[in-house]
Amino acid sequence: MNIRALPLYVTIAIFLLAYLVCWTQFPAMLSTRVIGNLLTDNAYLGIVAVGMTLVILSGGIDLSVGSVIAFSGVFIAVVLRDSTLHPLAVFAMLLALTTAFGAAMGFLIDRLAMPAFIVTLAGMFLARGAAYMLSIDSVPVVHPFFDWLEGLYWLMPGKGRLRLIGVVMLLAFAAGIVVAHKTRFGTSVLALGGGEATARLMGVRQGRTTVLVYAFSGLMAGLSGIVFTIYTGSGYSLATVGTELTAIAAVVIGGTLLTGGAGYMFGTFIGVMTMGLIQTYIVFDGSLSSWWTKIVVGVLLLAFILLQKGLVKLSQDRLAAGAGR
């Protein structure tokens, strides 16, 4: 068995097991309604986690995404309020802006050779500050096109509603899987995460790859902002505080190595769904308090980090044994 895929199998097993436990207590959990809601409610988190997975695979981190989502919401709401532009034009402007923002952070990380953690921290302050500058108050989005988007859904068998934003998330994951695992760029990203020196020797263009990775994360954060705005129907500069940490947790629970170089985009999808499932269970139960979500997610995080630590050590020991022979 491929040892690298083990965290992915563990992730899938935990998700299925958790679903089984939920189903034995609440048979209604296994309805397309619940599944439809699971996809809708976690759409923005899933999309941003796609970008985060690529960043983490490259050995970096992007702390700015939560602020970028909030900025996107405020930007869309304010531009729609103060101009007569069509929402699609606003979306295009926003995605160009957030992608350029991500690319700029990638450029700084590469050029200054500073930790991604602190560069994207500056990005986090900047995006949140820019959102405050646009508007401190929550701005409602009033546009017929938005209402149409919000009401768009496909009725699954069993009366479950697969809404547009759920579909966008699934498409984002499909795109993420192709980019990460089927393209030359994805291979460069994984090589970079595995070790900068070896990647350079392999002929990976380090600067270009770093810029593209953060640009991709910025694009996904912008898309997530659009989805979040459709979901909530307003733009608020204090929204999605801490989403970057939830996304990082989802990526790790999905089996991606936090030091980079190994992991699967599909695992992140399962990670996001597992976190959504915990919340759904708490809602179904009714007597449990919401803080249990944080604790359970923290425990899962610890379990996966320890599992990966063990696996890395195992493979290193195997390598050492091989070298000694």
Partner 1 sequence: MAGLMRRLAPQLVALAALVGLVTAFYPAFLDLSFGGGRLSGPLVDVLKRAAPVALLATGMTLVIATRGIDLSVGAIMAICGAVAATAITAGWGLPAALLLALGAGAAAGLWNGVLVAVLGIQPFVATLILMTMGRGIAQLITEGRIMTFTDAGFAWIGSGTALGLPVPAWLWIATAAAFALVLRRTALGMLVEATGINRRASGLAGVNATVLLVAVYVAAGLCAALAGLVVTADIRGADANNAGLWLELDAILAVVIGGNSLLGGRFSIAASVIGALIIQTITIGIRLAGFPSEYNLIIKAVLVLVILVLQSPRLAPEWQFWRDSLRAARNRPADGKGAAK
Q: Which is nearer to partner 1, 35 or 273 (CB)?
A: 273
Closest contact distance (angstroms) between CB of 188 and partner 1 is 21
Q: Which is nearer to partner 1, 138 or 187 (CB)?
A: 138
Return the residue matching tokens 């953060």.
214
Inter-residue contact 279 to 35 (CB < 8 Å): no
Greatest alpha-carbon pair distance for the chain in Å reads 72
Closest contact distance (angstroms) between CB of 281 and partner 1 is 15
Closest contact distance (angstroms) between CB of 236 and partner 1 is 14
Binding site for partner 1 (CB under 8 A): 61, 108, 111-115, 117-119, 121-126, 128-130, 132-133, 136, 241, 245, 248-249, 252, 258-259, 289, 291-295, 297-299, 301-302, 305-306, 309
State the DSSP code for 236: -
CA distance 132 to 213: 27
Closest contact distance (angstroms) between CB of 30 and partner 1 is 28
Give the gyration radius of the chain's Cα atoms.
20
Q: Which is nearer to partner 1, 177 or 275 (CB)?
A: 275
Which tokens is 104 given?
Answer: 């700029």
Q: Which is nearer to partner 1, 158 or 298 (CB)?
A: 298
Q: Which is nearer to partner 1, 30 or 114 (CB)?
A: 114
Which tokens is 35 given?
Answer: 């599944």
CA distance 84 to 90: 10
Which tokens is 62 given?
Answer: 């992007």
Beta strands in 43-157 (DSSP E): 139-140, 153-155
Closest contact distance (angstroms) between CB of 175 and partner 1 is 27
